[in-house]
Amino acid sequence: MTNAIPSSPALTADEITYEIRHGRDAQNPQVFARINGELKHLPALWLRERAQSNDQINEINRQRLFNPHQLPLVLKLIKVKWCGDDQKQLMILFSDGYEGAYNIEKLNHDLLPTQPLPIRKLWKSDLSYIPTYSWLELKDPHVTLAAVMDYLQFGFLIVSDTPLEKDSILKVGRHFGFIYSTNFGDYFEISSRPNSNDLAYSSVALTPHTDNPYREPAPGIQLLQCLLNETMGGLSTLVDSMACAEVLKQETPDGFKLLAEIPVKFEFNDAEESLSMLRPILALDAKGDMLGLHYSPRLDKLPLLEEQILQNYHHARNILAQLLLDPTFQITLRLKPGQCILFDNCRVLHGRTSFD
């Protein structure tokens, strides 16, 4: 198991201090915040948007009573001073005429980073810790919290001892969130069926993939529950796409970029439904960090590109495919009745071996 690069230690409000500075003749005041040792200027517009008085903010729901998009283009601070015996508030007069008190604890909220999630732990086939929890134990909120923390770190977890009733998977799902109904219903049973509308209903092997990339939004938490297993084969496989993507980015940064920028068409069609979605295989956030991927070789179609770009794109896609199929990155499980896998459909790819 390899760990992602740890983020910097969580910042606390105690590590934020404020300074008021003036120009010559005590004019042109400015407010600065020292955050984790780094001094940052707080522009007048940034402060004005965060007005805290009751004539600017609804006291109950804390929503604005003014439109900050219509504030003057040129906005300045006219006067700034500390107020209150504990000096926990700044009184600020702006050039648009507004004057109000600013509680620095509320300003701290906007200066602190978003509450960090647990650091993702990237894994391969040698993963020694399989996060597993008993359904009965999950009645304890503390156990549920521990399970969720594991899910956020590893992208999956196993719940054992779940009820074996036909629709009990819904009970498990609702314990962690809400059920998203699709054209397949609230849930569907996997068994071999002739002339089915999806290969999932056949006995063939399924290579690692994400479900429903043709749907917006794509499913988030997926559940696979075993009620009965008397077949030969049918082993479940899981792959951490984050671990594979790190290798892909190292081997071909340009290829990684192509897979993150060029949208492909994912499509599903049967007698009653037609669904399609254009999206890149790799999903990145606004900072360029990987969120996950949308991947299903049974459902995607190459975009029409210039031949050289198409070849470069296919080369990157081919490397990714080899990584996802490499046993080094796969863990294989044989689910027993009552076991249920929860996994992040946009991070952990799932598949299965053929069964009889």
DSSP string, 307-345: HHHHHHHHHHHHHHHHHHH-GGGEEEE-PPTT-EEEEET
* Domain shared by 107 and 52, yes or no: yes
* Domain shared by 148 and 288, yes or no: yes
Q: Tens digits of per-residue pLDDT, 259-278?
A: 999 999 999 998 888 999 99
Give the pLDDT of residue 84.
Answer: 77
Can you tell me the mean pLDDT for 287-314?
93
Looking at per-residue confidence, does 287 or 192 come out higher? Answer: 287
Read off the pLDDT band of 171 (50, 70, 90): very high
Q: Which amino acid makes up residue 250?
A: Q
* Domain shared by 29 and 148, yes or no: no
Give the pLDDT of residue 14.
Answer: 56
Give the pLDDT of residue 355.
Answer: 58
Question: What's the CA gap between 29 and 62, in Å, rounded?
Answer: 28
Read off the pLDDT band of 183 (50, 70, 90): confident
Domain-located, residue 116: no
Domain boundary among 111, 144, 175: 111
* Domain shared by 102 and 144, yes or no: no
Domain boundary among 43, 77, 111: 111
Domain-located, residue 100: yes
What's the domain range around 238? 121-352
Domain-located, residue 246: yes
Domain-located, residue 325: yes
Give the pLDDT of residue 232.
Answer: 67
CATH classification of the domain holding 100 = 3.30.2020.30
Read off the pLDDT band of 305 (50, 70, 90): very high
Can you tell me the mean pLDDT for 35-47?
93
Question: Domain total for the chain?
Answer: 2
Q: What's the gap between Cα 9 and its chain centre?
A: 20
Q: Which amino acid makes up residue 144?
A: T
Looking at per-residue confidence, does 166 or 133 come out higher? Answer: 133
* Domain shared by 161 and 101, yes or no: no
* Domain shared by 270 and 331, yes or no: yes
CATH classification of the domain holding 155 = 3.60.130.10
Domain boundary among 87, 111, 135: 111
pLDDT over 80 (residue 201): no
Least confident window among 61-70, 201-210, 317-326: 201-210
Give the pLDDT of residue 356.
Answer: 65
Read off the pLDDT band of 229 (50, 70, 90): confident
Mean of the per-residue pLDDT values for the chain? Answer: 88
Question: What's the CA gap between 204 and 183, in Å, rounded?
Answer: 22
Q: Tens digits of per-residue pLDDT, 110-150?
A: 888 766 788 999 999 999 999 999 999 999 999 999 999 99
Domain-located, residue 58: yes
Tokens at 345, concatenated: 């459909």
Domain-located, residue 56: yes
* Domain shared by 74 and 133, yes or no: no
Domain-located, residue 201: yes
- For residue 80, which of 64, 94, 65 has the smallest C-alpha distance? 94
Domain-located, residue 188: yes
Can you tell me the mean pLDDT for 12-19?
74
* Domain shared by 219 and 150, yes or no: yes
Give the pLDDT of residue 11.
Answer: 40
Cα three-residue angle 69-74-80, rounded to 5 degrees: 100
* Domain shared by 126 and 233, yes or no: yes
* Domain shared by 57 and 139, yes or no: no
Distances (CA, A) of 242 to 272, 282, 292: 35, 10, 7
